[in-house]
Chains A and B, each alone.
Chain A
Amino acid sequence: MRFIGAILFTTIPCAAILGLIFAAGFAVRAFAQEAPEVGPKPPIVIKPMESHIGNITGHAEAAKSDYRRYCAGCHGEYGDGNGENAVWLDPKPRDFTLAAFKCRSTLTGTLPTDEDLFNTIARGLTNSNMPVWNTFTKQQRADLVAYIKIFSPRWEKEKAGEPIKIPAEPPVTMDSIAHGKALFTKLECWKCHGTHGEGDGPSASTLTDSKDNPIRPYNFAAGKADSRFKCGNTNQDIYKIFMTGVDGTPMPSFADVIQPNDAWDLVHFLRTLQVNRHGKENEVLSAAHGVIPPYVDRTPAPAAAPADNKAPGGGQ
């Protein structure tokens, strides 16, 4: 009896104290209604997104395990570019929640086509940690393209942009290269990329991407014979890069300011900046002993100043 009494004597206050603590905790929680959620985030909802590449249809659901195994380490489970490896990487992994992509055939600010994303996965991104995923089947890649779309509501509200129209490439001639050089000067590409395309222009050291991380302009001169661009390595790819811009970076779109045929001239000149590359452009250049003559045209171009006396204030 005494023993039971003693137990009661100790447990009742204990229970009361516990009760008080519990009640206080409850009150605090009820009071602080807007306190941020703690603990793990809810699992990602896999929306039934699709992709269409040729006659392949990709399904987001099918890429669930591939994404978790191969992509989430950098891009994050929630697609926000905050995977556990992200802190060690430069440039940072893409944040899919923004649905802004570097390599597009579509105008700046628009969504890329499924094919653009499919190609990026297959090709990887040079000068970054994104590898070539050609170990995947086409179906796996198509499924992953669909999976990327679950992270941003833009994919449900907007259609992909129209791919820009690229005219057939004219032959590489010295005239074309010279005109390209004049455009490179006039459009001030050199402000970031440098006069020799070495990525050392006057603004180069100040550049940051849209998340305020420092970023370097492309160095055309670096690399060997096979030096690659981030968004592909054909002349068409280079055309697309400067016409559509590299979204999320300082590289703007020139689609409104360069005429389609002029754009090809610029492509031809840019190829000559890849000094170690073996190609038609460098063959034409070396046949002329490496000298690009001034381009003669109605539009004023500082590079063509000696031959162009119509340049305002620049005439001799």
Chain B
Amino acid sequence: MRTKQILLTLLMLLVCSSLMLAGTVSGKVTYTGTPAHQKPIDMSKEPSCAKQHATPITTETVVTGPNNALDNVVVYVSSGAPDDGQVPSQAVTFEQKGCQYIPHVLVMHTDQELKIINSDQTSHNIHPMPKVNTEWNKSQPPGTAPISAKYDKPEFISVKCNVHPWMHGEFAVLKTNHYDVSKGGGDFKLPNLPPGKYTITAWHEDYGTQTADVTITGNETKEVNFTFKAKAY
């Protein structure tokens, strides 16, 4: 009797889980060639920021790891995702700290709230430079309220602070919630993909985009790797 019950429960679990099949696409982003040397940033004109960095930080246009790993690549489902257009209710946060943008690459859904905070003791101006969305430019002195914004069209947008010309970040405005930014050695993972055909796009701010097609049939993890050709300059 007891064994029958256990078997029945197991069977039910199996049936339920097969109804909620979800695959994962994961992999690594790497580069070939020699990436441009990332230069140390001279923050001496902004002492309140300079003192926050024991050693000068470098530019973050290309962030690499061991074995030719490439970080800060936005990997996302560019077509095929069933829940395109579902705007998350929680905001994403972009922080200005030590005269740096944290994170360097920030991904958000179209129409998702973007909160920009200034944790520094200096004034910054937040100047995202979209081509498709609307451009604006706001000052944010220390201790002022977060700036709230959103973008209604998908686009990769460079962000800068005109006061501190070394500050540079990227917004990736996507129409999907299936995305990741490669990190910790170029790794990325796109979980919770129901069975279907997908196009996965990888975007790097300097090296451009690549795509790969992948089919998820059930509870499986498909490996997709991207290799970008590094630009020497």
Contact = CB atoms under 8 A, between A and B. Distances in A.
A100 B135 contact: yes
A192 B141 contact: no
B141 A257 contact: yes
A248 B138 CA distance: 12
B136 A250 contact: no
A254 B137 CA distance: 9
Interface in A86-144: 98, 100, 107-110
Contacts of A107: 136
9 contacts: A110-B134, A187-B141, A188-B122, A191-B123, A206-B162, A206-B165, A245-B138, A250-B162, A255-B138
A148 to B, nearest CB: 17
* Most chain A beta carbons < 10 A, residue from B138, B140, B144, B162: B162
Interface of B: 45, 122-123, 125-127, 129, 134-141, 144-145, 147, 162-165
Interface of B is mostly: loop
B145 A256 contact: yes
B139 to A, nearest CB: 4
A252 B136 CA distance: 8
Contacts of B145: 256
Given A100-B135, A245-B137, A247-B136, A252 B144 contact: no
Interface of A is mostly: loop
A247 B134 CA distance: 10
B162 A252 contact: yes
B139 A203 contact: no
A253 interface: yes
Contact of A192 (B126, B140, B163): B163
B135 A210 contact: yes
A279 interface: no
A49 interface: no
Contacts of B165: 203, 206-207
Given A257-B140, A257-B141, A207 B162 contact: yes
Nearest to B165: A206
B135 A247 contact: yes
Contact of B139 (A110, A247, A249, A254): A254
Contacts of A192: 162-163
A223 interface: no
A206 B164 CA distance: 9
A224 interface: no
A107 B147 CA distance: 14
A192 B129 CA distance: 19
A316 to B, nearest CB: 20
* Most chain B beta carbons < 10 A, residue from A98, A186, A191, A247: A191
A191 B163 contact: yes
Contacts of A247: 135-137
B163 A186 contact: no
A109 B139 contact: no
Interface in A253-268: 253-257
A206 B136 CA distance: 19
Contact of A250 (B45, B125, B141): B125
A110 B137 CA distance: 11
A48 interface: no
